[in-house]
Each structure stands twice: as structure tokens, then as C-alpha cells.
């Protein structure tokens, strides 16, 4: 037995091989699909719906029925919903796919039964239905043709009105979703802001300015202040940072990234970070990526401000959206990767999903060990790190994160779970 999302090519393959007349059950028949399947053959038995509503709504093409009747037997079978193609001797396919063009593009699932017991079982169910079928005659076609064009026009107008109603429904749903998404993000930002406000009360402050250097930009401290040593007026050193390391950095808007800190400047801010194999002990061959970039948050639950993705080499295993709130994180349900798109010339190579079994195992583990996984992600996000060669110079430049060249800001340092965190906000004149 094999399963197919589009079984049309398998139909064609088996029909070409078969020496016996086909038996076809399909409620709807359109656009030459059935004609192509029985091309060059005679005596096929085709069972379908022969109903005014079916033809008026475009579910089936009456012209195709007439064409099939020239060399084959076409039957009306009331109440038919099953879709089956067989020659009785060598193969049976059953599933959801009609012999229509739409059936090739819808979300369908069909099964090819190869072994004889399964084929026999399927036919034992179907054959009694066929006793009640009525062969379609030219007279029946003539009667059906009467007034069908008027009914098609009425249905077209009905579809137009339905489309207008559907558009209005979708517009309302989207406006509601935008409002709910805005409220969720506002709530999340308020929670972060409240925690930051409390944490920054006794923080040390340095001032800096966004400066353009050649074709680039950096955030450079004023008065040559050292970003690696955070010292209070009484001489007590509150914290020391490591040159070149990345530190979690929040803006006043509560957007965040990971800033590369040098002696007197911040040059690059990553909106996403990658951790190589080994960080995820349950699956040591997987790498972990986290992103706070706006484009990566699209399509995820309301309140998402961080997206975690797991990779097996260049293959995508799964994605886990989350709500990060400075000292805590709530992860939502893990998502399977989307099927790879067809390669399009001039566009990047489509991402391939990892093997289904691996994805299933990882998602199951995350679901059953949610707190452990949340702890891993929180530590990855908040702890400082130093990129290996090849990643050291990743990230956006200062002007794209802190503001246009000339912007003056104040930089404050606090600690979250004993990890240094930077906070950058505009310096009011």
C-alpha cells in the first residue's frame, strides 16, 4: 500500500499498463481528466453523479460525460462520494481525489492498494453499490441540457454574492486578528518594560552616539567611556564584559538583539543567533537558531517576539515560537516545517524539511519536556557568547538598530539571572 497527495500520475501509470477495462468511481468529472485516463481504451465503466446541481455549479462538465459515452459505459450512481479507480485484476486506488483538475491541486489523500486481499476487500464493498447504478443515455443528456445555461448563470451570480460576503467576512476577521495581535504584543511589551524599569533603577549609565564610518556605522561612547568595565562613582566595579562577546541588548521599544561589544563601541547587532550541534543534549546532532527579527515573527501566535528553529544540517526540523519576557519565556506549540517549494530560477534554494520521523521525535520530546526546553532557550537567549569564525561579523549595523547617524543615546547595564543585559534608549536633549 502507498499513499499519495496527488494520485493522478499513478492512475495514468496503472491505466497504461492494464489490459483490462477500467472501473472508475468519481462524483465529479471535469476538464478531460477522465478522458485522458481512458484514452486509447474501450469499455471502461464510469460511475458518477448525474444531477442538475452538479452541472449548474460546475462540479462536472456535461460535455466530458457526452465524450466518454462514445466509447465507454457511463452510469449515474446517486449518493456517490467515494473515489475509486481499478481494473479489478491488478490495482485499486481509493481516496478523496476526484477526476477533476481541482483534484490535482486540492489537499487530497489517496491510497494505492497493491495486494490482492486488500483489493478484494475494497471491491466487496463497492460492487453491491454498482447494482443500483443506471446507465446514462443520450435522452437523459438531452433532458439535462434543457435550461442548464440559465441555471449556470444564476449560480454564477450566487457565487459572486458569496464571494462578496466572504471578502467582508475575511476583512472583519483580519481586523479582529490585527487588534488581538496588537493587544497581545502590547501586553508582552508592558511586561518587559515593567521588569526592565525595576532592574534599571540603580543601573550605571553611559552616553553614546551613532556615528557613520565609511559605508558603515557604529554606536560609539562619548568621553571615551569603556563599555567593558561598568564602575560606580565610588570605584566599585559592577560588571566587566568580554571584548567581542555578544550581549542581549534591549531598546526602549522593547525590541532586542545581541550586540557585539568592543572597548568603546558597539558595531554589530544580531537579530538572530545560531548555536551549532551539541547545545541540545537530547538531540546532539541538531543546531538551534533563535530570531527576534520582525520577518521571522510573521504567522506565529499573538505575543510571539522570539522564534526558535531546530535544524539537522541544512534540513529544517521544526519551529517553536515563543514569548520572551526578560527573565522568563513561554514557548508555544512546535510547528512542522512547510513542504519544500519548487526551485525557481534566480531565487535561493528552497529549504528541505528534515525526515518526518526525526521531526515527530523532536516535537514529541519538546511537548513532553517543555520546561527543560524553555530553560535551554532562555539560557541561550540571555547568556553572553562569542561567535566562532564565520559568524563574528554577522548582524545589522548600529544605524539600523539604534537610530540614524547623529542619534545620541544612553546605555545602561543591568543583570538578568546574573547575566549582563544592555538597555539603550534615546538621550533627551
Task: Among 29-38, 85-94, 159-168, 304-313, name the one with the lowest average pLDDT.
Answer: 29-38
The rounded distance, in Å, linking the Cα atoms of 361 and 355 is: 10
DSSP string, 78-136: TT---EEEE-SSS-EEEES--BSTGGGTS---EEEE-SHHHHHHHHHHHHHHHTT-EE-
pLDDT tens-place string over residues 194-226: 988 888 888 889 999 999 988 889 999 998 999
pLDDT tens-place string over residues 118-144: 989 999 999 999 999 999 999 999 999
pLDDT tens-place string over residues 348-390: 667 888 889 999 999 999 999 999 999 999 999 999 988 776 6
- What topology does CATH give the domain 2-146? Endonuclease; Chain A (3.30.870)
Read off the pTM: 0.71
The rounded distance, in Å, linking the Cα atoms of 157 and 102 is: 21
Confidence of residue 392 (pLDDT cuts 50, 70, 90): low
Question: What's the whole-number mean pLDDT along residues 294-304?
Answer: 90
The rounded distance, in Å, linking the Cα atoms of 296 and 301 is: 12
For residue 274, pLDDT over 80 is answered with yes
Domain limits, the chain? 2-146, 159-199, 204-269+395-426, 272-382
Question: What's the whole-number mean pLDDT along residues 165-178?
Answer: 93
Q: Are 6 and 108 in contact (CB under 8 A)?
A: yes
Q: Are 157 and 57 in contact (CB under 8 A)?
A: no
CA angle 156, 158, 159 (to 5 degrees): 65
The rounded distance, in Å, linking the Cα atoms of 71 and 68 is: 6
The rounded distance, in Å, linking the Cα atoms of 396 and 120 is: 64
Residue 379, SS3?
A: helix
The helix or strand, by DSSP H or E, that contains position 414, with its residue range, turns out to be strand 408-416
Amino acid at each position: 500500500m502507498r499513499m499519495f497527495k496527488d494520485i493522478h500520475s499513478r492512475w495514468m501509470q496503472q491505466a497504461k499498463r492494464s489490459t483490462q477495462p477500467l472501473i472508475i468511481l468519481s462524483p465529479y468529472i471535469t476538464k478531460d481528466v477522465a478522458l485522458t485516463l481512458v484514452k486509447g481504451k474501450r469499455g471502461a465503466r464510469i460511475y458518477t453523479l448525474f444531477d442538475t446541481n452538479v452541472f449548474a455549479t460546475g462540479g462536472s462538465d456535461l460535455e466530458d460525460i457526452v465524450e466518454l459515452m462514445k466509447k465507454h459505459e457511463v452510469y449515474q450512481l446517486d449518493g456517490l462520494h467515494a473515489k475509486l479507480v481499478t481494473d479489478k485484476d491488478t490495482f485499486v486506488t481509493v481516496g478523496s481525489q476526484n477526476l477533476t483538475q481541482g483534484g490535482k491541486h486540492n489537499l487530497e489523500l489517496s491510497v494505492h492498494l497493491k495486494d490482492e486481499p486488500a483489493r478484494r476487500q475494497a471491491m466487496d464493498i463497492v460492487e453491491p453499490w454498482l447494482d443500483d447504478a443506471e446507465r446514462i443515455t443520450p435522452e437523459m443528456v438531452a433532458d439535462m441540457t434543457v435550461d442548464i445555461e440559465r441555471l449556470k448563470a444564476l449560480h454564477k451570480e450566487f457565487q459572486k454574492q458569496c464571494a462578496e460576503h466572504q471578502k467582508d467576512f475575511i476583512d472583519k476577521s483580519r481586523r479582529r486578528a490585527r487588534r488581538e495581535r496588537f493587544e497581545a504584543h502590547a501586553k508582552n511589551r508592558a511586561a518587559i518594560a515593567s521588569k526592565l524599569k525595576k532592574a534599571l533603577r540603580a543601573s550605571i549609565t553611559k552616553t553614546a552616539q551613532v556615528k557613520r564610518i565609511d559605508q558603515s556605522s557604529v554606536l560609539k561612547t562619548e568621553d571615551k567611556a569603556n563599555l567593558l568595565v561598568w564602575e560606580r562613582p565610588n570605584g566599585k566595579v559592577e560588571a566587566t564584559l568580554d571584548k567581542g562577546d555578544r550581549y542581549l541588548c534591549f531598546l526602549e521599544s522593547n525590541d532586542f538583539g545581541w550586540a557585539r561589544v568592543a572597548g568603546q563601541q558597539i558595531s554589530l547587532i544580531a537579530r538572530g543567533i545560531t548555536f551549532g550541534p551539541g547545545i541540545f543534549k537530547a538531540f546532539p546532532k541538531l543546531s538551534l537558531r533563535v530570531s527576534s527579527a520582525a520577518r521571522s515573527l510573521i504567522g506565529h501566535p499573538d505575543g510571539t517576539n522570539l522564534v526558535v528553529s531546530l535544524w539537522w544540517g541544512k534540513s529544517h526540523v521544526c519551529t517553536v515560537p515563543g514569548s520572551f519576557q526578560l527573565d522568563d519565556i513561554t514557548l508555544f506549540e512546535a510547528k512542522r516545517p512547510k513542504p519544500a517549494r519548487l526551485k525557481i530560477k534566480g531565487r535561493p534554494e528552497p529549504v528541505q524539511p528534515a525526515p518526518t520521523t526525526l521531526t515527530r521525535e523532536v516535537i514529541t520530546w519538546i511537548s513532553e519536556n517543555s520546561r527543560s526546553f524553555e530553560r535551554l532557550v532562555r539560557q541561550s537567549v540571555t547568556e553572553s557568547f562569542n561567535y566562532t569564525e564565520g559568524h563574528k561579523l554577522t548582524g545589522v549595523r548600529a544605524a539600523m538598530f539604534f537610530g540614524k547617524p547623529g542619534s545620541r543615546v544612553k546605555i545602561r547595564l543591568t543583570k538578568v539571572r546574573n547575566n549582563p543585559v544592555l538597555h539603550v534608549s534615546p538621550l533627551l536633549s
